[in-house]
Chains A and B, each alone.
Chain A
């Protein structure tokens, strides 16, 4: 049924190579994030950075492959649990912990992706949601997760045997570096032939199939990549807060990452980062108001879907006439 519909994702502007204005935006982002910890509470910033990476990973899937995963919390939380366990119970250094977490979430991404890819669109979303919920209930009961308690007192350890992560500023630079690495990796993926094929699949899948591309493999690869990077975010977050809990595998967390990406701008490069920072800041300030936070999140969803589909960065990009 080929009706002209506005698909979920980025406006169709040519995006190959590194564009000058994007490089400028990148420099601005790096500069801001480098100066911020001296003004703002660093732990808050680290939280925002982890979520920014999570949102970027999620955006790869929805913004560029057009696949809405409603169960992405499974990857964030699973990696968090694994990293916490590896760091605390096995006593491994932080780099090993995070890598283990990411590895597990990659494998999970493969398993869930393989199952979900069989269906499209909304079915895909519902299947990811249900499978994530399955994992959630598993984690509630599995002894190693500590259930309601979560895994607490996770040691941050010493990175590469050199950097003591217990010092807040050291931890911040490490998290910042991890975020940048993930961000650049995603950027590279988007602006590669692989990213082009993904976009073509999103815009017209039957056409891509007829051109001979193994569409399912591309989608699965995007899914796995997204899951793996979400895992990096999850593992890092577990070390920052020294805690891995059920909140990170609950479906409301899946909803939050959708919110961040939608608000920031689906399919834009910097959108998820901005969206993540806005949402984390909002939640921090509204925390006193209890249930109002949920209401505000809901309102943002509704407003964005109805009138603000391009999101903050999307609108900014449109104003400037260049994709961001």
Chain B
């Protein structure tokens, strides 16, 4: 029944809009897949869907006679659910591109499925730098940030500004260990030293024991190689033990604006973190973020959500130029065309699928320094685009010509 309707629709449209005859089913279907109700719902979640819709509107799809549909999927941070949705979307719903996908374990699985089905994937929230390394694929672009950029930004910038002795509090699973490894390499390269580390089970509710050990190490910086609830719990409990206000500071290796919002400035003040975007950076980001906030319960966008906007916008531009939504072809076109949007400004996509733009080291303001809700960050330093991401040669991506 569905097939009949679809065929009829295609037939009708084929005679009326010949210019886009190469677009599958004559609809560009974008699937926004992320965690809609769990730990990552605030930093991506429904906000990413809002960002995607804004991109479609700003692109002017309706004006240009392009039909664009957005589907939403909740992967619940589980790789089996995520790959199941991806399979169903590609096989049954004829989705052309999947966007966002937080949680490294899920994005790797979806990356695999996308490659098998030869579609397209634009990763905004997913972090693992393997996406442009050993798991790189001609069907995917890694848009907003990755673990290497975070480690590099936070690690090197902190060491350069005096935080040269580190203690790692690491979540004992693949992601946490990778983050610790990458950051340690950067710290050591910049002349700092790692005086100790402790691996905590993932997830952990009570950090008191580990925080004690961190305090005993007398390291200047306590690096939090974990994410989500583990990070916020550690910070919250650290405040109880007096960390953050005195000699020791926390460095959050994966922290989003929404995490700081949930913690409150009282607990999060002094935290150092790296992000790719902040709503208050310049006039363009401010204007865009205000529009976003109007559509998203007054909450300012995180870098993840901003990334979704930027990626979808560029995708649509590429589809328009190519007059086709064939997965790898559009990805190739996106690498060809330079990017430009109010969120990241001008940038480009490298051959290994890495989008590059500047990264920023932020410090969380003290309550007295903040003028109101969401006014949380001050810029400590800016890392230019060319230095912010792992050099092409070091990734081990097979797409990079030697």
Contact = CB atoms under 8 A, between A and B. Distances in A.
Direct A–B contact present (CB less than 8 angstroms): yes
Interface of A: 41, 43-44, 47, 137, 140-141, 146-150, 152-153, 241-243, 245-248, 287-288, 290-291
Interface in B76-117: 76, 78-81, 83-85, 87-88, 91-92, 103-105, 108-109, 112
A247 B83 contact: no
B105 A290 contact: no
A185 B87 CA distance: 32
Given A44-B88, A140-B172, A148-B104, 9 more contacts: A137-B201, A148-B105, A149-B105, A149-B174, A150-B79, A242-B112, A288-B73, A290-B37, A290-B74
A44 B173 CA distance: 30
Interface string B37-78: 100000000000000000000000000000000001110101
B36 interface: yes
Contacts of B175: 148
A136 to B, nearest CB: 11
B88 A149 contact: no
B88 A152 contact: no
A155 to B, nearest CB: 12
Nearest to A283: B81
Contacts of B73: 287-288
A54 to B, nearest CB: 14
A241 B84 CA distance: 8
Interface residues of B, number: 29
Contacts of B88: 41, 43-44
Nearest to A153: B112
Contacts of B37: 290-291
Contacts of A288: 72-74
23 contacts: A41-B88, A41-B91, A43-B84, A43-B88, A47-B84, A141-B173, A141-B201, A147-B173, A148-B79, A148-B105, A148-B173, A148-B202, A149-B109, A150-B109, A152-B109, A243-B83, A245-B79, A245-B80, A287-B73, A287-B81, A288-B72, A290-B36, A290-B37
Nearest to A244: B80
A153 B134 CA distance: 14
B174 A241 contact: no
B67 to A, nearest CB: 22
Q: Which of A43, A44, A149, A241 has the most CB of B within 10 A?
A: A149
A150 B105 contact: yes
Contact of A243 (B36, B104, B109): B109
Interface string B146-176: 0000000000000000000000000011110
A239 to B, nearest CB: 13
B112 A148 contact: no
B87 A43 contact: yes
A243 B173 contact: no
Nearest to A143: B174
A142 B128 CA distance: 20
A44 B91 CA distance: 12
A247 B80 contact: yes
Contacts of A245: 78-80, 105
A115 B83 CA distance: 36
A152 B116 CA distance: 13
A58 B75 CA distance: 27
Contacts of A241: 80, 83-84
